[in-house]
Structure 1
Amino acid sequence: MDLNLRDIRAFIAVAQTGSFTRAAARLHLSQPALTVQIRRLEETVGVRLFDRNSRNVALTATGRELLPLLQKSLHDMEHVLIDARALGDGSSGTVRIACLPTFAASVLPELIQQVKVTVPCAGFHVRDAVAGVVETLVRNEEVDIGLTGGELSDAEVDVLYAGADHLVAVLPAGHALARRKRVSLTDLASVPLVLTAQGTSVRAVVDSAFSSGGCTPEIACEPTYMMTAVAMVRAGLGVTILPASAREVRAEPELRVRPIDHDAFVRPIALIKKRGRTLPPVTQTFVAMLLERLAPG
C-alpha cells in the first residue's frame, strides 16, 4: 500500500496538536474519519505511531523519528503539486525554441519581454542555428518549436505558420549600384558577392534564383554568419544578399539596402513543431503571441 498525502497530513496534525479532536477540527474532518486515516498510515508503515488513551495522545518513539521525515515529504510533494499546476495552467514553464539567427536577433528579444509580462515565471531555452539544424532539433525533440527557413518537406513536423521573407541587396554607400532604387539579377551577377555559406536557407534561395535566371554569380567570400557578411561588405569585398528583416541590415548607417527586382529572392519561413507532440501551455502562449507578430498587416 502506498503512502497517502491525506494520511500524512492527518498524522502531522495529530502530532502537532496532541489531540485527535483538535486535529480533526484543523483538517475539517470528523474524528472517526481522522482515526481511519491514522490507522491506515500505521498499517502502511507497519508500526504504531501514537500511544493514546482517553486522556492524551503521544507519539511513539517511531512516530517521533518519522515526524520530521514525513513533514519534509509532505512539504516536497505539496510543492511538486504547486509546480505541476503552474506548468499545467501555463503560469510557469520553459519555452524551448530553435530559430534562425535573423529571428533571434530581431523579433525574439522583444517577444520574450512581451511574454514575460504575461507569464513572469516563464523561462527560455533558445538555440539559434541555420535552417537544417533547427529542423533537426525539433525532430529530435531537443526543442519544442522551431522557426526555420527554406523549403520544408519533413513528414515528422507540423507547420504552425508559413510565411516569406524578402531578400535584399546590401552594399556600401559609395557602390555604383547604390545609386539605383532597385537592383536586378543581372546587376548582382556583374559584381563580386559575399554570400552566406552553403547549407544556410538564404544561400539556398540565392543559388536557386541565379540558377533559374541562367546567371553565374561571382562569389568573393562565403561566411556562415550574416554579421560577418556585413563586415566584409563594409570592408569593400563585395555585395551581400540578406533577409530584409535581418537586424544586421538596419544597423549599418554606412551601408545601403536595395530591393531586388526578381520574384525568386524570397525565403520561405515556417514555425514548426514535432508531429504528434502537445506543446506545453507556456509555449502555446508564446506561439500565440508570435503568430500575432508574424501575421501580415
Structure 2
Amino acid sequence: MDLNLRDIRALVAVAEAGSFTRAAERLHLSQPALTVQIRRLEDAVGARLFDRNSRNVALTPTGRELLPLLRKSLRDMENVLRDARAMGEGESGTIRIACLPTFAASALPELIIGMKRDVPRVVFQIRDVVASTVNALVRNEEADIGLTGGEVLDPLLEVLHAGVDRLVAVCPKDHALAKKRRVSLADLARSPLVLTAPGTSVRAVVDAALSETREALDIACEPTYMMTAVAMVRGGLGVTILPETAREVRAEPGLVVKAIDHAAFARPIAIVKKRGRTLPAVTERFVERMRATMNAPR
C-alpha cells in the first residue's frame, strides 16, 4: 500500500497533539476516521507507530524515527502542491517565447516589465530570431509561443492573433526623399536600396511590393541585421525599408523615417503556438498582453 498525504498529515497531527481527539479536531475529522488513517499508515509501514491507552498516545521507537522523515516529506509535498497550484493559476512558471528581433527590441521589454510586476515569479526564455526560425522553434516545441512574420502556412501552427507591421523608408536628412511627406513605389525604385537579406520576412514583403515596378532596381547591399542596414544608410549607401516598430529606425538622429504610400508595404505578423498543445496558464496571460499591445494604436 502506498503512503498518501492525508495519512502522513494524520500521523504528524497526532504526534504533535499527543491525542487522537485533539488531532481529529485540528484536522476537522471524526476520531474514527483519524484512527482509520493511522492504521492505514501503520499497515503501509508494516509497524506500529503509536502506543495507545485510555489516557495518552505516544510514538513507538519506529514512529519517533519516522516522524522527522515524514515531516520533511509532508513539507516537500505541500510545497509541490503549492507550486503546482500557482502554475495552474498563472501565478508562476516559465514563458518560452521565440520572436522577431523587431518585437524583442521594441514591445517585448515593456511587456516583460509589466508581467513581472503582476507575476513576480515568472521566468522568461527568449529566442529572438528570423521568422522561419520562430516557426521552427514553436513547431519543434523549443518555444511555447512565437511572434512571427509573414503568412503562416504551416499546418502544425495555430494562429492565436494576427496583425500587421507597416514598413517605412529610412534615409539621411539630406536625401531627396527626406523632403517628401510620403514616398511612393516609384521613388523607392529610383533610389539605391539597402535591403535586409533574402529569407527574412521583411525582405519577402519588400520584394513582393517592388516587383510591381518595371524599374531596374539598384540594390547597394543586403545586410543581415537591421542595425547594419541603418549604418549603411547613415554612410550614404542608399535608402532602407524596415518595420515601423523597429527601434533601429529611430536610433540615428541623422536619419528620417518616411511613410510609404503603397499598401503592399505591410508585413503580416502573428502570435502562434503548436496546434493541439495546451499553453501554461502564465503563458496564456502573457499572450493576452501581447494581443493588447498589437491592437494598440501606434
TM-score range, shorter chain: over 0.9
Q: Match of 1:186, SS?
A: helix
Checking the alignment, whether the CA contact within 8 Å between 1:170 and 1:242 is kept in structure 2 is yes
Letter of the aligned partner of 1:135 in structure 2? N
Matched residue, 2:208 = 208
Per the alignment, residue 66 of structure 1 pairs with: 66
Matched with 1:34 is: 34
Are 2:110 and 1:87 aligned?
Answer: no
2: CA distance between counterparts of 1:32 and 1:44? 18
- 1:70-149 to structure 2, matched below 5 A, reads 70-149=70-149
Alignment RMSD (CA, Å): 1.7
Alpha-carbon distance in 2 for matches of 1:56, 1:49: 14
Q: Equivalents in 2 of 1:261, 1:31: separation in Å?
A: 81
1:220-259 correspondence to structure 2 within 5 Å:
220-259=220-259
Give the deviation of 1:138 after TM superposition. 1.1
Q: Which amino acid aligns with 2:31?
A: Q
Amino acid at match of 2:263: D
Any conservation in 2 of the 1:194–1:240 contact (CA below 8 Å)? yes
Which whole-Å CA distance do the structure 2 matches of 1:296 and 1:93 have between them? 27
- Paired with 1:16 and 1:96, the residues of 2 have a C-alpha distance of 44
Alpha-carbon distance between aligned partners in 2 of 1:191 and 1:102, rounded to the nearest angstrom: 24
SS of the residue 1:197 aligns to:
coil
TM-score (norm 2): 0.93
Q: Does the Cα contact within 8 Å between 1:202 and 1:243 map onto a contact in 2? A: yes
Q: Which 5+ residue runs of structure 2 have no aligned equivalent?
A: none
Shift of 1:213: 2.3
Deviations 1:3-55 (A, max 9, x none): 11111011111222222223222222222221111100011121221222333
Distance 1:30 1:296 in 2: 58
Question: For residue 193 of structure 1, what is the amino acid of its counterpart?
Answer: L
Amino acid at match of 2:133: V
The list of structure 1 runs, each at least 4 consecutive aligned residues, that deviate by more than 4 angstroms after superposition, is: none
Indicate the larger mover: 176-185 or 251-260. Answer: 176-185
CA contact (8 A) 1:171 1:233 kept: yes
Letter of the aligned partner of 2:251 in structure 1? A
1:216–1:210 Cα change, 3 Å: farther
1:51 partner SS = strand
Paired amino acid for 2:143:
V
Structure 1 match to 2:49: 49
Distance 1:218 1:132 in 2: 27
| Equivalent position amino acid for 2:17 in 1 | T
Mapping 1:175-194, distance limit 5 Å: 175-194=175-194
Instruction: State whether residues 190 and 215 of structure 2, in contact with CA within 8 Å, keep that contact through their aligned partners in structure 1.
Output: no
Report how many residues are paired: 297
Sequence identity, in percent?
Answer: 71
Is contact 2:51-2:57 (8 Å) kept? yes
TM-score normalised to structure 1 length: 0.94
Q: Which residue of 2 aligns with 1:25?
A: 25
